[in-house]
């Protein structure tokens, strides 16, 4: 799953995809609701429900092992999904991003969250809300439905990866990769340490930034995936 404002065919993931295909992994690349083509047109809960329905189709198609792999906000979705459904077999989280629990340290964002929560209490879920989103130091303005905004930016909601990690019940092998020069690097304590124990859980930090870590980690990912077979 690609990151914020990106797309399934992003160059950021191209070489990783090529390497996976060379190793005969089957790949599905959904266009996520946070892509530049969709601009948050679906709430986070429904995004995860769509993933669940797709995974049920895979199981019916006799696919034995399903691995969620995501970059940035796509990695966030990996944890949110497993916390809600607990039915995938492994997770690869590459430079996880989107931290609504930290965004509220900004006074303007905290005010916006309170404003949105007030609208939801008044059942104004479909009313449009304007906000400025941040991605790798870049800013973009959006205007989306209140309930959609809150599903991603609620500091206690699905976007909170620390909470999601704590809510995962199934012991799931996780490869968690960060870049040493990534501006969203947060270290192992905030999320990785909250995951349920699995003997193949690995936290790795590479000497890369947010967008070149997927390419740099492709051999590491293949080696780890193959180790799960043993």
Instruction: Quickly list DSSP for 178-208.
Output: EETT-TT---STTTGGGSPP-TT-EEEEES-
- What is the full DSSP assignment across 200-217? T-EEEEES--TTTHHHHT
pLDDT at 69 over 80: yes
Quick check: is 207 in a domain? yes
Span 54-75, mean pLDDT?
95
Length of the chain: 230
pLDDT at 230: 60
**What are the backbone dihedrals phi and psi of residue 133, each rounded to the nearest 5 degrees, phi first?**
-95, 155
Task: Kindly indicate the confidence band of residue 73, based on its pLDDT and cuts at 50, 70 and 90.
Answer: very high
**Cα–Cα distances in Å, from 161 out to 3, 119, 171, 189, 224?**
15, 25, 16, 12, 22
Candidates 24, 32, 27; CA nearest to 14 is 27
Q: Which tens digits make up the pLDDT trace of 84-137? A: 999 999 999 999 999 999 988 888 889 999 999 999 999 999 999 999 998 888
CB 40 within 8 A of CB 67: no
Q: How far apart are CA 108 and CA 101, in angstroms?
A: 14
Place of tokens 């609208």: 119
Q: Which tens digits make up the pLDDT trace of 5-45? A: 999 999 999 999 999 999 999 999 999 999 999 999 999 99
Quick check: is 158 in a domain? no
Q: Which domain holds residue 189?
A: 11-102+164-227
Quick check: is 115 in a domain? no
The number of folded domains in the chain is 1
Q: How far apart are CA 230 and CA 201, in angstroms?
A: 15
Task: Kindly indicate the confidence band of residue 184, based on its pLDDT and cuts at 50, 70 and 90.
Answer: confident
Candidates 208, 200, 191, 203; CA nearest to 230 is 200
pLDDT at 188 over 80: yes
Give me the CATH number covering residue 27.
3.40.50.1820
pLDDT at 217 over 70: yes
Quick check: is 86 in a domain? yes
Quick check: is 154 in a domain? no
pLDDT at 104: 83
Q: How far apart are CA 53 and CA 47, in angstroms?
A: 10
Quick check: is 66 in a domain? yes
CB 109 within 8 A of CB 103: yes
CB 65 within 8 A of CB 42: no
pLDDT at 105: 84
Q: How far apart are CA 140 and CA 142, in angstroms?
A: 7
CB 44 within 8 A of CB 152: yes
pLDDT at 79 over 70: yes
Candidates 180, 166, 188; CA nearest to 212 is 180
Quick check: is 127 in a domain? no
Q: Which tens digits make up the pLDDT trace of 136-163? A: 888 999 999 999 999 999 999 999 999 9
């Amino acid at each position: 799953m690609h990151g914020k404002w990106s797309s399934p065919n992003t160059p950021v993931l191209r070489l990783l995809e090529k390497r996976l295909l060379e190793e005969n992994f089957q790949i599905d690349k959904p266009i996520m609701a946070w892509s530049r083509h969709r601009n948050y047109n679906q709430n986070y809960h429904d995004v995860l429900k769509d993933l669940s329905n797709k995974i049920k189709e895979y199981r019916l198609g006799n696919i034995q092992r399903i691995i969620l792999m995501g970059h940035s906000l796509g990695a966030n979705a990996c944890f949110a999904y497993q916390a809600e459904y607990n039915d995938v077999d492994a997770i690869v989280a590459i430079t996880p991003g989107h931290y609504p629990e930290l965004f509220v340290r900004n006074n303007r964002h905290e005010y916006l969250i309170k404003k949105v929560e007030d609208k939801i209490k008044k059942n104004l879920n479909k009313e449009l809300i304007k906000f400025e989103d941040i991605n790798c130091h870049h800013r973009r303005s959006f205007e989306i439905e209140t309930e959609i905004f809150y599903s991603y930016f609620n500091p206690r909601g699905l976007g909170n990866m620390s909470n999601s990690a704590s809510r995962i019940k199934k012991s799931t092998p996780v490869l968690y990769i960060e870049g040493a020069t990534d501006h969203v690097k947060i270290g192992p304590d905030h999320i990785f340490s909250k995951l349920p124990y699995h003997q193949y859980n690995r936290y790795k930090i590479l000497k890369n930034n947010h967008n070149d870590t997927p390419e740099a980690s492709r051999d590491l990912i293949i080696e780890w995936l193959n180790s799960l077979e043993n």
